[in-house]
Structure 1
Amino acid sequence: MVLEAKIFDVVLPSKVFFFETDKTIFVTEEDINQLLRMAFLNVSCIQLFMMYLQKHCEEKIEGSSSIAFLCPTIISQIGNDKELNNEVMKYVENSLYQMKNAGIVLVPFCQEMHWTLIILCPLVQEAYFCDPLSKKRDVTFKYLLQGAFRGFKARGGYTLKSGMSLKWSNLECPQQPGSTECGYYVMRYMLDIVRHYNQNITDYNKWFGSKKAYTVEEVDEVRDLWDTYLMTNHF
């Protein structure tokens, strides 16, 4: 690949990530080199792939508004800072209120240099957690997203009660073989989910159903789609 620029400006539309205004991120030559080397991916790489998925949904999926995305930069601020946590809750609550018809909401989440995927299903009050390297983790994000969901339901005129809670489940999903593949696996999870939705497969337990690692070809497909989207839309 021959690069003519070291930095690519990528606009994140407010309508996709539910910002107040559009935001700009930067994809650098180093980001691209990391992708080529299968190194750990930073958030800009994940966001760029989410932009590809959004475009794919608009072109391929009838009623594409049933799939929505939350910004991983904002979500990944969840931690020990109470003020930041409150900002994340407010962002999620406002976003859910704007995407009232969304069947699934894809939420990549980075914690301690490891990417996982949260799948919110607000219409059926369910949430799923996909971890490419399953182990016991801090579950602060569950309580915060639960609070945001209850706030969203209250704004819709629902009476808050125990039945308004999200039901959380861990999905059995492909497991990474090494230490740096988590970002690629999360991108592949999202790609598989979008494709299943395109085929009207809404049984979440059928999205993966195995812990077997992705093949080299399945991971390479994600990298190729990422590269093609960048070169086609931002080069």
Structure 2
Amino acid sequence: MGEDDSIHIEFEESMFGRSQSLRLIREDIVPFMEIREIGARQILVYMGHLYKYLKEEDRTDCISFVDPGHLPTCPLDSNGSHLSQHISNQLEAVCRDSVCLIPYNTGYHWILTIVNVAENMIYLLDSTKNRCRDDAWKMIVMNGVKLYNASRGIPKWPGFKQLTGNLKQSGGVECGYYVMRYMKEIVECEVLRVETMFAGCVKNKAYSQEQFDEVRSEWSEFIYSHNSMNELLYERLNLFEMNFYIDPDCQNEFDTEWGSEFYLQEVREENFLRIVSELRAFDNLLELYADQL
């Protein structure tokens, strides 16, 4: 993937109640592959995967999202009223009494805010230990939900609670990945009780590499499944050479020629995704794949 190449992703209008798209460039993909610090664009891609999952499960009325790219860090000298209004507008556009997931960057750290409209409650998940709560962001979200309640004739302030039963990061750059993992667990939970899911207090337990890789694999799968990505892939698959070892037990899973090297002769979408999971060499595969693009 060259410096000037990009991957265009168009999100469904129903996801945010408006059209939304982005172009991923190499600088978006490489940090994600290397588990370096990430931003709103990478998180937005994963939210696209989660929305696709909800559509397949016919559960889009249960969980909605706010685009983190439209929630810039609020300056210290601002009351954040424009952000509160945006949250209110977004709830009105897509929420339908659902649980709404709002990733937010405080300026140096990603946190996840969960609005349970039916219960008029706001929950906060923070992946760091012993960090002070962001009171400015708390008031922004509470004002946004209050505006939304007022638009429905409900003159009530929402409740607020920071949950402590979520796993905590051990390093300094994983916060964005933790937010994505929190969202995955919430979205995939059929009986959605957020406060119960993250009850108690967890201090010294982190997500495993395998749990991170599940998120990263789904992230790449969403990009691959997008039409523009497929077109690029099919154009170049005949030139796609892979030089690392596959367990011979997996040989029947793939259309390959064996030797010291093997070449991919035919790859359908299901075979490509199977390769990602079977090889357990996610980084090498995606790096090679990105280079071929």
Percent identity over paired residues: 24
Residues 1:103 and 1:8: Cα distance change in structure 2 (over 3 Å) = same
How do residues 35-184 of structure 1 correspond to structure 2 at under 5 angstroms?
Answer: 35-60=32-57, 62-80=58-76, 82=78, 85-134=80-129, 135-158=131-154, 160=155, 164-172=156-164, 173-184=166-177
Aligned partners of 2:40 and 2:210: how far apart in 1? 23
Determine if contact 2:43/2:176 at 8 Å carries over to the other structure: yes
Largest Rg, 1 or 2: 2
Aligned partners of 1:225 and 1:94: how far apart in 2? 29
User: CA offsets per residue over residues 106-136 of structure 1, 9 Å max, x none?
Assistant: 0000112211100011110111111111301
Q: One-letter code of the match for 2:218?
A: L
Determine if contact 1:18/1:70 at 8 Å carries over to the other structure: no
Aligned partners of 1:203 and 1:230: how far apart in 2? 28
Aligned partners of 1:88 and 1:38: how far apart in 2? 29
CA RMSD in angstroms comes to: 2.0
User: CA offsets per residue over residues 112-162 of structure 1, 9 Å max, x none?
Assistant: 22111000111101111111113014321111221121111111123x2xx
Look up the match of 2:287: none
User: CA offsets per residue over residues 88-113 of structure 1, 9 Å max, x none?
Assistant: 22211112223352321000001122
Determine if contact 2:91/2:148 at 8 Å carries over to the other structure: yes
Alpha-carbon deviation of 1:203? 4.8
User: CA offsets per residue over residues 59-84 of structure 1, 9 Å max, x none?
Assistant: 02x4421100001112233333638x
Aligned partners of 1:119 and 1:201: how far apart in 2? 12
Match of 2:195 among 170, 192, 204: 204
Q: One-letter code of the match for 1:31?
A: D
Q: Which is worse superposed, 185-194 or 85-94?
A: 85-94
Residues 1:31 and 1:148: Cα distance change in structure 2 (over 3 Å) = same
**Tell me, which stretches of 5 or more residues in structure 1 are unaligned?**
none
Aligned partners of 2:186 and 2:40: how far apart in 1? 20
Look up the match of 1:6: 5
TM-score by length of 2: 0.70
Alpha-carbon deviation of 1:35? 1.0
Q: One-letter code of the match for 1:202?
A: R
Aligned partners of 1:176 and 1:37: how far apart in 2? 16
Q: What SS does the corresponding residue of 1:38 show, helix, strand or coil?
A: coil
Residues 1:6 and 1:115: Cα distance change in structure 2 (over 3 Å) = same
Look up the match of 2:184: 191
Q: One-letter code of the match for 2:169?
A: Q
User: CA offsets per residue over residues 178-208 of structure 1, 9 Å max, x none?
Assistant: 0111111110000001111xx2242522247
